[in-house]
Chains A and B, each alone.
Chain A
């Protein structure tokens, strides 16, 4: 254990990896509490991105944390602890989606839609919407479209990571995102931009 880290437990100033080591050594409740407090909200938010329903996101958060603490022994620290947690979160949520009837839509490549030639909608156009407007627009999108858009802009997941998670290539994800942004902008303009 690194110097400065108390051997009997954990405190909130410690790095994630030190807390993980202390938890492995002592199974101290404080270590569990600190890690839970650090990541529970973020895990819940990401589960909401993918599952959309609060009750499903709660169940997923519980399963994710149980899985995390039961497999802490396998975490060697090659990646950041937060990255490890988020990969568990996304994989578990994708498993849940796969088990449900929504899987076909989420993992479809949408080849039936021809590529658009229109100019790409800038990110600012979506980010500058009011929250209630954004909620309305998200409500009009399909589940797959909503999930992709939120993964990219709300959770800040990189295109490559999204492609890996969904089993697609990066260009397919970029093309899909481009179309979704166009659709979102169209929905927004139709509903909120008054035409004289």
Chain B
């Protein structure tokens, strides 16, 4: 048998049991930590950046939400007719 391949097989055989499992656990731990940090940054990054921006005198990056008023929403006419005009004369 090729002695170099035998050497490789010995290396592979040495990488079993606790050594193999231990490294896998360490990798999993590092991946979980990276995932946790990434999710923290994803959640709070924009808010933190906005806070810093406002504290340093800038404007908030978040768009101001506008709500339709009650009267505007009532004006929606599905038939395209103009809204009813108020009466010209005041009936006393």
Contacts and interface: CB of A to CB of B under 8 A. Distances in A.
A127 B4 CA distance: 6
Interface residues of A, number: 31
8 contacts: A36-B27, A41-B11, A62-B26, A65-B23, A65-B24, A126-B3, A127-B2, A153-B2
Given A54-B14, A127-B2, A154-B5, 16 more contacts: A32-B31, A40-B24, A41-B12, A41-B15, A44-B12, A44-B15, A45-B8, A45-B11, A45-B15, A61-B23, A65-B23, A70-B31, A131-B3, A131-B7, A134-B3, A155-B8
B28 interface: yes
A40 B7 contact: no
Interface of A: 29, 32-33, 36, 40-42, 44-45, 48, 54, 58, 61-62, 65-66, 69-70, 126-131, 133-135, 150, 153-155
Q: Which 8 A-B pairs have the closest CB atoms?
A: A45-B11, A153-B4, A44-B15, A154-B4, A65-B27, A134-B3, A41-B12, A127-B2
Interface size class on chain B is 20 to 34
Contacts of A153: 2, 4
Contacts, number: 69
Contact of B6 (A69, A126, A131): A131
A45 B28 contact: no
Given A69-B31, A127-B3, A36 B12 contact: no
Nearest to B35: A27
Nearest to A61: B23
Interface of B: 2-8, 10-12, 14-15, 19-20, 23-24, 26-28, 30-31, 34
Contacts of A58: 19, 23
Nearest to A42: B12
A154 B8 contact: yes
A195 to B, nearest CB: 23
Contacts of B26: 62
A131 B10 CA distance: 10
Contacts of B11: 41, 44-45, 48
Contacts of A32: 28, 31
Given A45-B8, A131-B10, A62 B23 contact: yes
Contacts of B3: 126-131, 133-134
A52 to B, nearest CB: 11
Contacts of B19: 58
Nearest to B34: A70
Nearest to B15: A44
Contacts of A70: 31, 34
